[in-house]
A = this chain, B = another copy of it.
Amino acid sequence: MNKNLTLLTDLYQLTMMQGYYQNNTTQTAVFEMFYRKNPSQNGFAIFAGLHQFIDYINNINFDVDSLEYLKSLNIFTPDFLEYLKNFKFTGDIYSIPEGTIIFPEEPLLRVTAPILEAQFIETTMLNIINHQSLIATKASRVVHAANGDPVLEFGLRRAQGPDSSLYGARAAIIGGCSSTSNVLAGKEFDVKISGTQAHSWIMSFKSELDAFRKYADLFPDKCLLLVDTYDTITSGIPNAITVFDELKAKGLSSDFYGIRLDSGDLAYLSKKARKMLDAAGHKEAKICASCDLDEYLIADLKRQGAKIDTWGVGTKLITSDDCPSFGGVYKLVAEKNGNNNFIPKIKLSDNPDKVTRPGVKKIIRVYDKENYKIKIDIIALEDEHFDESKTYIISDHKARWKKMTIQGGTYITKELLIPIFLEGTCVYNTPTVMEIHSHTKQELNTLWDEFKRLVNPERLPVDLSDKLYELKTNMIEEYRAVELI
C-alpha cells in the first residue's frame, strides 16, 4: 500500500483535533479498539489487517495538496494547519497479532498517545481492521464447511472496489483459503493464485471440443475444463473425457486435471460427473465447483454426498454476504493526569452492552495445560498478573453467580497484546501472509469443535478480572449518583 491515506478520515476527527489543539489539550490518552458481536453468527472472529494499519501509520503525512484542500474548507485556523504539516504519530500501539482468534469485548488494539494523535488514527484503523477481520472470519467459516478440501477465493469482480478485492484476498488466505484468482494479490502478498478459463473461451472456438483441445495443448499439466457452456452432461463432460483420453494417449502426465462445474445442481452433477469420469478411467480427475457458494451451501452439498474436490467461492466470501460489516469500535478508556497517572474513563448508555469497560487493559488467554485448548479469556487491567500455580475463581460479568474455577497447575496463560509501535517507531516485523495463514490454522486447533459450529456455536467465556469488574461497577455508580442529585 503506497497510497497516502492521511485524509481518509472523518471530518469530525479533524474538527475535534483542532478543538484539542486550540484548548492546548495535549494530555496522553488511551483508546482501545474492540467489537461487540461476532459476524455471521460465528463463535469467534479472526483478527486481520494489522500490516496495512502499520503501513498507514508509517505513511501519515499531510502533504501540500492535502493542506491546501483543508485550508479551502475555511474551518481550520492557520496555526492548526501549520501543526498538521509536521504531524506524525509518536505514541505506543499494542495489538493482537494477525490470524489470532478473538472474541467480543476484548481490547484488540490499544493506543497510548497525545489525544490528538490517538483520536486522529481512529477512522482509518477501523476501516482497515474491520474489513480484513470480517473477510478472514468469513473465509474461516467457508474453509471449515469444506472440511479439508481446498477453497479458492474467486470474488474479485464482485468485491466492493479494488482494495476490497486485494485486501479481501489477503484476508481470505489468512482465514484459510488455499489460493486466490486475484493476480495482484498473488504479487503483493506472495500467495498462490489459480484459474483456468471462462465461458467466453469456450464460445470463441468453433466447438466446445475444439476449445478444450486448444486449452489442453497450452496447459497440459494444469488442465481444468469448464464444462457447462452448452450442456454439462451431454456435451461438457464427454468432451472433457475425450481430451483427457487424448492427453493420456500422448503419455502426458498431469499434475492436476479435471473439470469445473459452474451452474446447475452441483450435488447431482458432481455425482454424475464422478461416475462418468471414473467409468472412463479418470479416477484422478478432480471436480471443482463454483456458483454462488457459501459455507451453508458447501456444508449441505457435502451432507448430500456431492463429489466435489475443490471449491471456488466468490461473491459471498469476498463481501461476507450475510453480514457485510464488522462492528469494531474505538473508545477512550483512560487519560493521564498531571501526576502521570492514568485516570479511567467510561461511556455510559441505556443499553448495558454499550457501556464501555474503563481503564488500560489487556487480555489473558487461559489454555488447558493438557490439550492446549482455550478455557477462558480474561480481560484484566494492565498491571494485573496471574500466577499459573494459583487457583482463581472467575465470575461471569453478566451473571455473577456463574463462576469458573481455574485450578492452579492445570493451565497456561498467554497475554495477547504485543508491542507494535513504541514512541512512534514500529518495533514489529509482520510475518508473511502464508505464515499468518499457518498461525490461523494453529489458532483454530486451540478451540473445541463446539465453538466452531456454523450455526448457534457455544460461547467461549470472556470475563472481566474482579479488579476490572469493580472499577467498572464503581464508576457507573458514581455517575448515577451525580444523576440522582
A residues in contact (CB < 8 Å) with B: 3, 5, 7-16, 18-20, 22-23, 25, 27, 29, 31, 65-66, 69-70, 73, 75, 115, 119, 122-124, 126-128, 130-132, 134-135, 154, 156-168, 181-184, 186-187, 193-201, 203-204, 214-215, 218-219, 222, 228-231, 234-235, 263-264, 315, 319-321, 324-328, 331-332, 335, 345-351, 354, 479, 483
Q: A204 to B28, alpha carbons, bound, how many Å?
A: 11
A66 close to B187 (CB less than 8 A)? yes
Cβ of A5: which chain B residues have Cβ within 8 Å of it? 162, 184
Which chain B residue lies CB-closest to A265?
B350
User: Contacts A163-B163, A263-B350 given: A181-B10 contact, CB under 8 Å?
Assistant: yes
Q: List 14 A-B contacts (CB under 8 A).
A: A8-B166, A10-B183, A11-B183, A12-B195, A12-B197, A13-B198, A16-B200, A19-B218, A127-B161, A135-B160, A160-B163, A199-B332, A203-B346, A229-B347
Give Cα distance in the complex from A8 to B9, angstroms: 25
Min C-beta distance of A318 to chain B, whole Å:
8
Chain B residues with Cβ under 8 A from A168's Cβ?
A: 160-161
B157 and A10: CB pair below 8 A? yes
Q: Is the CB–CB distance between B25 and A204 below 8 Å?
A: yes
- Tell me if B479 and A195 are in contact (CB < 8 A): no
Contact B159 A263 (CB under 8 A): no
User: How many copies of the shown chain assemble into the complex?
Assistant: 2
* Contact status A483-B231, CB under 8 Å: yes
Contacts of A16 in B (CB 8 A): 197-198, 200-201
Which of B29, B154, B321, B483 touches A324 (beta carbons < 8 Å)? B321
A31 CA to B199 CA in the complex, in Å? 12
Collect the chain B residues with CB atoms within 8 Å of residue A222's CB.
Answer: 75
- Further pairs besides A9-B182, A16-B200, A127-B158: 9, Cβ < 8 Å: A8-B156, A18-B218, A65-B187, A115-B204, A127-B159, A130-B158, A157-B328, A199-B347, A320-B324
- B134 adjacent to A349 (CB under 8 Å): no
Q: Contacts of A29 on B, CB cut-off 8 Å?
A: 200, 204
B75/A219 in contact, CB under 8 A: yes
Given A19-B214, A200-B16, decide whether A354 and B183 contact each other with a Cβ distance below 8 A.
Answer: no
**Known interface pairs A19-B214, A234-B483. Does A128 touch B349 (Cβ–Cβ under 8 Å)?**
no
Pick the contact of A187: B69, B183, B204 (CB < 8 A). Answer: B69
* CB contact between A348 and one of B131, B231, B350 (< 8 Å): that residue: B231
A204-B127 in contact given A161-B168, A218-B19, A263-B351 (Cβ < 8 Å): no
Q: Are A10 and B182 within 8 A (Cβ)? A: yes
Q: How far is the CB of A29 from chain B (nearest CB, A)?
A: 7
How far apart are A50's CB and chain B's nearest CB, in angstroms? 14
In the bound complex, how far is the Cα of B115 from the Cα of A418, in angstroms?
A: 52
Known: A130-B158, A196-B15. A182 touches B8 (CB 8 A): yes
Taking a contact as CB atoms closer than 8 A, the residue among B131, B156, B218, B235 that contacts A159 in the complex is B131
Q: For residue A356, give the distance in angstroms from its CB to the closest CB of chain B.
A: 9
CB distance from A379 to the nearest CB of B (A): 20
Q: Which residues of B contact A229 (CB under 8 A)?
A: 347-348
Question: Whose C-beta in chain B lies nearest to the C-beta of A115?
Answer: B204
Please state if B181 and A11 are interface contacts (CB–CB under 8 Å): yes
Query: Residues of B contacting A162 with CB < 8 Å?
Result: 3, 5, 8, 124, 127-128, 163
Q: What chain B residues lie within 8 Å of A203 (beta carbons)?
A: 332, 345-347
Among residues of B, the one whose C-beta sits closest to the C-beta of A218 is B19
